[in-house]
Chain A
């Protein structure tokens, strides 16, 4: 199979060039993604990989947002659909539907999980000042999950706390 010819058929959005990128950027970098119309961001250092959606193995008697478990190179990780969890967007599984695999290794938490999102959009760097505290809104998202908001052009990106995200399952035991 000729991979190169395949690669040429994949449409590339814009030319990727490293010149414009500021590697020594100020502040932390965040990976942003869409859930329906909303934008969210997670710390980029916690992102292990981004995968295509694949049908996971069901876990019996689990909440509806836990889609099941998959195998990543011998490690079994649960897949959580954030759209169902946060109650935003439409739950459909399309070719652009991706799974962001997050990994946190701290003294308190050491786990890996996959999160289903509609699409991955951008990498955003933001310093402390540009992160605004989240208003106490009555959405579906628990307030301890939200690290803050960042204004990006017209839209607002909700930054999520990775560690909280990964321990989501422990607390919400039914």
Chain B
């Protein structure tokens, strides 16, 4: 039987990348908060599963690389070695390296070993340099493997030994009560603390476990390395010799392990077979207990319990596939709960995904519930419709109301599936800040708040780069060097905080630093120098800050010695605008600045104002509307020949009649008594002249580009309640279009004058 392993590659890549993220976070946690067992275990686990997976799929480069990593981590875990800054740095580098390797595997490219080789050498140097046992460099690799606890070693060794002795080995382990002596490494551990604790494991594999390439003997070997190991095989399910099938595993085992290892360590060994067995891990009594019989006598109930029906509250990871489906966070939470160790870091273990989303089982359940309700409503309505009488009108309208409610809830739940906690976007910052702080010699502390705020996956993917840019700017230009901070009476360590929270229909992401702030006067001076604003103009502070988003502002000369943060800020704003969001700046000179990014909750749905022009209905995104008003003729000023401006308090807003812009018929072509929808985009306001304001409603955004092409002034389309199509106006595009046209007009006028 051959299995096409390639179909699992994608899952492996995804899981490995997730594992690397987890590892990286734990490493960063360890470097700032000091090392605890929990984070070491997290790191080790991540490395271990990557190694296991890569071994299974035959990605030997990755296996080799993670192997040395794991060896080192193992020594740290066994407290034989401290996790020094140097080691953490090396491990972080190897995370990057592994990520690169996985990515090139994903692209089916040849692996480049130029990066990994020196890292492997560095690991080996650390491993050798400090362990006094391993002097002979010729033997180093072999010795390294001896002191490590991993599967592929066991496999390799097993491969080397001829098959007879494997069989013999297996039977020793499988069928007798042999106490397997662990390797040297474990002896050392046990010497330190007398083994008074341990685990009792009831392991009932499913018959097909061997078909998936999982050998119980291998698991036991690994267990044996954790401590003193005893196994009892239950053979009662074995059929007679004649009906025995070679590749079916009908044995089950009661294992006893005297060890200091945590429950997680034990469970970890079963990681690969979780889905194919029934597993119960219970702590042994405090009294050292070597006899299986005795412990069985103490807990006579255990064997009789039907594992399938046991409630989940029991300290029992029964790994049905459902557990797998629960997203990473919940899984981590379950594990931490069961081992009674609540570490905050473990809860934040999270997953990044590219092509797929992990959805919490609760979300799926709520969907199923809602669909159920919808079906009930539907059947009620269709029954009503079958023999309808006027008396039933009340029930009909009630039913329709219920349908509306159901649909709304269903829509919300479906949207929630696309929502991911913003921690996915935040996760990269600890590492980035650490690196940048090292590079710039500044001391920076990062505070993350509201990481669980959920945001649409698409928004998340696109907001990453702008956020990185803003954070980098905050370190580069915001936070002052240590001396300057001290001179200004500030703490030596600067603080950057990232906050995410909901506000209205938006998600707000705040990037706040306590650096030197933005000097409005300098910005204004520079802008005047660049000709971006009129020389005599008086601008409010917020208008001045907005200037740094102007495309022309971002040149190196502007940003070098002042607090201006101009590099590519126009790109940042454009990206955010294209997501339908906006950005605001607050800053106090000497105290720090706050960048607030407002993002829509989702890209698929938009709150829109329906407006009518002639017989066409257009949708204006509600977020861009400043106000809608009836035009007062006395406030309209004609300027530049063809341009009408509307005086809106302090601002002069250009009026853009949609009928002219789109070349369609309209009822009202006069400015007097017309309706003006004032919209804002890209820092500019325009007034759209429309015939009528209709309802406000949520609309589902559909693409025009898929089947047609990009249309100037239109960002997309939607389907209205009557099934007709309505176009969504692209406010930014309209503004650009209008300003381009006016500048063209001006140019052509100049031409005429010149002629």
Q: Which of B661, B662, B706, B725 is most buried by chain A, counting CB atoms within 10 A of its CB?
A: B725
A-binding segment of B135-143, B266-274, B711-719: B711-719
The reply to whether B723 and A58 contact each other, CB–CB distance below 8 Å, is no
Indicate whether A70 reaches chain B with its CB closer than 8 angstroms. Answer: yes
Indicate whether B8 reaches chain A with its CB closer than 8 angstroms. Answer: no
The reply to whether A169 and B709 contact each other, CB–CB distance below 8 Å, is yes
Indicate whether B702 reaches chain A with its CB closer than 8 angstroms. Answer: yes
The reply to whether B717 and A60 contact each other, CB–CB distance below 8 Å, is no
Contact of A57 among B706, B709, B712, B724 (CB under 8 A): B724
For the complex, give the distance between the alpha carbons of A71 and B717 in Å.
10
For the complex, give the distance between the alpha carbons of A111 and B705 in Å.
10
Interface hits, A94-135 → B, CB 8 Å: 110-113
The reply to whether A69 and B708 contact each other, CB–CB distance below 8 Å, is yes
Contact of B616 among A58, A76, A112 (CB under 8 A): A58
Interface hits, A127-174 → B, CB 8 Å: 169-170, 173
Known contacts A69-B717, A71-B719: does B707 contact A56 (CB below 8 Å)?
no
For the complex, give the distance between the alpha carbons of A32 and B544 in Å.
64
Indicate whether B704 reaches chain A with its CB closer than 8 angstroms. Answer: yes
Indicate whether A52 reaches chain B with its CB closer than 8 angstroms. Answer: no
**Nearest-Cβ distance from residue A156 to partner chain B, whole angstroms:** 31
For the complex, give the distance between the alpha carbons of A75 and B706 in Å.
9
Q: Which of A60, A68, A70, A111 is most buried by chain B, counting CB atoms within 10 A of its CB?
A: A60
Residues of B within 8 A of A71 (CB): 719, 723-725
The reply to whether B712 and A69 contact each other, CB–CB distance below 8 Å, is no
Indicate whether A77 reaches chain B with its CB closer than 8 angstroms. Answer: yes
Indicate whether B727 reaches chain A with its CB closer than 8 angstroms. Answer: yes
Residue of B nearest to A110 (CB): B706
Contact of B709 among A56, A76, A173 (CB under 8 A): A173
The reply to whether B616 and A69 contact each other, CB–CB distance below 8 Å, is no
The total of chain A residues at the interface (CB under 8 A) is: 24
Q: Beta-carbon contacts of B687-713 to A below 8 Å, as 1s and 0s?
A: 000000000000000111011110111
Indicate whether B663 reaches chain A with its CB closer than 8 angstroms. Answer: yes
Residues of A within 8 A of B709 (CB): 169-170, 173
Q: Beta-carbon contacts of A61-99 to B below 8 Å, as 1s and 0s?
A: 110001011110011111000000000000000000000
Residues of A within 8 A of B711 (CB): 59-62
**Nearest-Cβ distance from residue A60 to partner chain B, whole angstroms:** 3
Residues of B within 8 A of A78 (CB): 704, 707-708
Indicate whether B364 reaches chain A with its CB closer than 8 angstroms. Answer: no
Residues of B within 8 A of A70 (CB): 725
For the complex, give the distance between the alpha carbons of A71 and B709 in Å.
16
The reply to whether A60 and B713 contact each other, CB–CB distance below 8 Å, is yes
The total number of A-B Cβ pairs within 8 Å is: 71
Chain B: number of interface residues, binned into ranges: 20 to 34
For the complex, give the distance between the alpha carbons of A66 and B707 in Å.
12
**Nearest-Cβ distance from residue A167 to partner chain B, whole angstroms:** 10
Residue of A nearest to B729 (CB): A60
Indicate whether B726 reaches chain A with its CB closer than 8 angstroms. Answer: yes
The reply to whether A60 and B724 contact each other, CB–CB distance below 8 Å, is no
Indicate whether B664 reaches chain A with its CB closer than 8 angstroms. Answer: yes
Residues of B within 8 A of A76 (CB): 702-704, 706-708, 717, 719, 725
Known contacts A59-B727, A69-B725: does B707 contact A112 (CB below 8 Å)?
yes
Q: Which of B704, B708, B724 is most buried by chain A, counting CB atoms within 10 A of its CB?
A: B708
**Nearest-Cβ distance from residue B708 to partner chain A, whole angstroms:** 4
For the complex, give the distance between the alpha carbons of A61 and B658 in Å.
12
Interface hits, A41-65 → B, CB 8 Å: 56-62
**Nearest-Cβ distance from residue A111 to partner chain B, whole angstroms:** 5
The reply to whether A61 and B704 contact each other, CB–CB distance below 8 Å, is no
Residues of B within 8 A of A62 (CB): 711
The reply to whether A77 and B707 contact each other, CB–CB distance below 8 Å, is yes
Residue of B nearest to A60 (CB): B662
Residues of B within 8 A of A66 (CB): 708
The reply to whether A60 and B704 contact each other, CB–CB distance below 8 Å, is no
**Interface of B toward A, CB cutoff 8 Å:** 616, 661-664, 702-704, 706-709, 711-714, 717, 719, 723-727
Show 10 A/B contacts (Cβ-Cβ < 8 Å), sorted by A.
A56-B725, A57-B616, A57-B725, A60-B664, A61-B662, A69-B708, A75-B707, A76-B707, A76-B717, A173-B709
Given contact pairs A60-B727, A169-B708, enumerate 17 new A-B contacts (beta carbons under 8 Å): A57-B724, A57-B725, A57-B727, A58-B664, A60-B661, A60-B712, A60-B713, A60-B714, A68-B725, A69-B708, A69-B725, A71-B719, A74-B719, A75-B707, A76-B704, A76-B707, A78-B704
